[in-house]
Amino acid sequence: MALLKNVWHAAAWSQEVGDKPFARTIANEHILLYRKAGGSIVALNDTCPHRFAPLHRGKIVNGEIECGYHGLRFNDKGACVHNPHGDGTVPKSAAVKVYPVAEKDTLIWVWLGDPARADKAAIPEFPWLNETDTYDFSGGHVMHMPLAWDLILDNLLDLTHGAYLHPDTLAPTPDLRTETNLRRDGDRVYSLLSTFDAPPPPIWTATGAATGKVHVDTWLEMRWDAPATFFLDVGVMPTGHGREDGNALPTVHIITPETEETSHYFWKMFRNFSRGNPKVSEVMEEFATRAFQDEDRPMIRAVQERMAGRDFWEMDPVLLPTDAAAIQARRMIKKLLKEEADEAAGGAARS
């Protein structure tokens, strides 16, 4: 799948970036992140314009990045401000691109496209990540995945896969009574799934949110924002009860493409029950990691290998009603990609 530039991409969890150089490749661009003394984030292109060394192999000196190959220094605006050799002349052309960057809800976001369009208000909100009084959190994970971002999107927007991939961890067994729905809210898509009157899935009994003896109803509401930013609200309640009697175990899933074929998979899970119990937190980490790494990843990778670089639509996929949310998202992404391609063509025509 092609890659979007005029969107906010999650670049890192807040705690990943400090006063040392931190590098991450996003949509084929090499990004250098670091914090200045006051804590504000700098996002620069990570390639020295002199001999193309990755700048993150150098070090931060007085809030500036010093290249580790020949010692040129660049400030937080990307300007080369120091050449240690000869008379110290600095060519005007010696500069690196600076990216709009924002820190919000414990995540750091970067904008790779036209800086004039980088509206921080457009960053999807995750207020729960700040609600430490209400929730106990797993770690902030970043899994490097050999997976195309759109295939992870298909996975997350069609929750019916749970019964087949995750019956030992997150999901109920197949052939339950379930309901799936789609909801739109502007450009935002919700994929909804409910199950009724069944033994609770393994993660719920393992975390003590339910017991195997009492049947439960579950709600799963997956919220999608372009390009691949997800919030999954999920919970269980004794069958017939309302959500106010339920326990919730929501997860943030954010997929940031590294390349067309590889992705960074950010996730954090949290719960509003069994608070303060570190054993339950361990179980939560273990089940989620197993589900995403050992159950989703190999299947999605197998799909990617089977597609062998071919376009999704050209492969003429069979469409089921349960694909509706993923199809809506794919159409919106296609539109955004077309807009970027048109702008690039227009820019090229004008120049």
Q: Does 177 bind its own copies (CB under 8 A)?
A: no
Compute the CA torsion angle 228, 140, 260, 117 (nearest 10 deg). 50
SS3 string, the chain, reads CCCCCCCEEEEEEHHHCCCCCEEEEECCEEEEEEECCCCCEEEEECECCCCCCEHHHCEEECCEEECCCCCCEECCCCEEEECCCCCCCCCCCCECCECCEEEECCEEEEECCCHHHCCHHHCCCCHHHHCCCCCEECCCEEEEECCCHHHHHHHHHCHHHHHHHCCCCCCCCCCCCEEEEEEEECCEEEEEEEEEEECCCHHHHHCCCCCCCCCEEEEEEEEEECCCEEEEEEEEEECCCCHHHCEECCEEEEEEECCCCCEEEEEEEEECCCCCCHHHHHHHHHHHHHHHHHHHHHHHHHHHHHHCCCCCHHHCCCCCHHHHHHHHHHHHHHHHHHHHHHHHHHHHHHC
Taking CB under 8 A as the criterion, the residue among 33, 34, 47, 287 binding its own copies is 47
Cα–Cα distance for residue pair 140/14, rounded to 1 Å: 9
- If one asks whether residue 87 binds its own copies (CB under 8 A), the answer comes out as yes
State which residue, 73 or 223, has the beta carbon closest to its own copies.
73
Per CB under 8 A, 279 contacts its own copies = no
- Among the listed ranges 13-21, 117-125, 156-164, 218-226, the one in contact with its own copies (CB under 8 A) is 156-164
Least CB distance to its own copies at residue 46 (A): 8
Is there binding between residue 20 and its own copies (CB under 8 A)? no
Closer to its own copies by CB, 86 or 242: give it.
86
Told to check if 183 binds its own copies by CB under 8 A, we report no
Place of tokens 């390639």: 47
Is 160 a binder of its own copies (CB under 8 A)? Answer: yes
CA 157, 219, 281, 167 dihedral sign is negative
C-beta closer to its own copies: residue 18 or 298: 298
> Contact with its own copies (CB under 8 A): which of 53, 79, 98, 192?
53
- Residue number, 317 or 346, with CB nearest to its own copies: 317
Applying CB under 8 A, which of residues 154, 217, 221, 340 lies at the interface with its own copies? 154
Q: Binder to its own copies among 49, 227, 235, 250 (CB under 8 A)?
A: 49
Binding range to its own copies, per CB under 8 A, among 85-93, 130-138, 195-203, 283-291: 85-93
Q: Name the residue type at position 346.
A: G
175 near its own copies, rule: CB under 8 A: yes
Per CB under 8 A, 335 contacts its own copies = no
Cβ proximity to its own copies, 55 vs 284, nearer residue: 55
Q: By rule CB under 8 A, what string of x and - marks binding of each residue 299-328 to its own copies?
A: x--xx--xx-------xxxxxxxx------
Provide, rounded to whole angstroms, the least separation between the CB of residue 342 and its own copies: 26
Interacting positions 280-299 with its own copies (CB under 8 A) = 299
Residue 246: both structure tokens together: 């339920």
Q: Which stretch binds its own copies (CB under 8 A): 6-14, 81-89, 208-216, 267-275?
A: 81-89
Work out whether 85 is an interface residue with its own copies (CB under 8 A). Answer: yes
Q: Is 196 among the residues that bind its own copies (CB under 8 A)? A: no
Looking only at the bridges linking them, the beta strands covering 136-137 and 263-271 are antiparallel
* Binding-site ranges for its own copies (CB under 8 A): 30, 47, 49-54, 57-58, 67-71, 80, 83-87, 89, 91, 93-94, 154, 158, 160-161, 163-165, 174-175, 178, 180, 299, 302-303, 306-307, 315-322
